[in-house]
Homo-oligomer: A and B are copies of this chain.
């Protein structure tokens, strides 16, 4: 048997050299946001994807931390769709705090992708929004991992994920500041 030569390319795409992205999602969400995220990731990069589904958004912080520590992911996307009721908003708040703490405990990013049920006027738009936001944040995950300089080029430009960007403030950076 002839040994295959190990080229640089072989090394770069070999699993042990590939970056690993964790996808934590929920059975509570009403749309398969993970599929949209995974599909967007695969268009952008050759990475290994580890998916971990939990019941609700309050289960996401430890799921994300387990993906980072036990599955050795380099970054995690935490996907959730909180309901519109006050109690659901509170759950989302608690989950967000947990996700921030999990990041501080691991020194790794967890991109929170939450779509609130009342962010869209109807179910169809909600589904579209959830998938669009997941896909656009998948690009952010790729940028954080591979192309941080791209994010810096976009700094202060009013990027939004899902609905259209707010854009940079007109005249921003022109130096024409108001007197005081």
Contacts and interface: CB of A to CB of B under 8 A. Distances in A.
The number of times this chain is found in the oligomer is: 5
A123 B170 contact: yes
Residue in A70, A91, A169 whose Cβ sees the most chain B Cβ within 10 Å: A169
A80 to B, nearest CB: 10
Interface residues of A, number: 87
Contact of A98 (B26, B93, B101): B101
Interface in A127-180: 127-128, 130-132, 137, 140, 144, 148, 151-152, 154-161, 163-164, 166-173, 177-178, 180
Given A55-B140, A167-B30, A127 B97 contact: no
9 contacts: A25-B156, A26-B155, A30-B157, A30-B158, A55-B159, A65-B107, A81-B156, A123-B170, A127-B177
Interface of A: 25-35, 51-55, 58-59, 61-63, 65-66, 69-70, 81, 83, 87, 89-91, 93-105, 107-112, 116, 123-128, 130-132, 137, 140, 144, 148, 151-152, 154-161, 163-164, 166-173, 177-178, 180
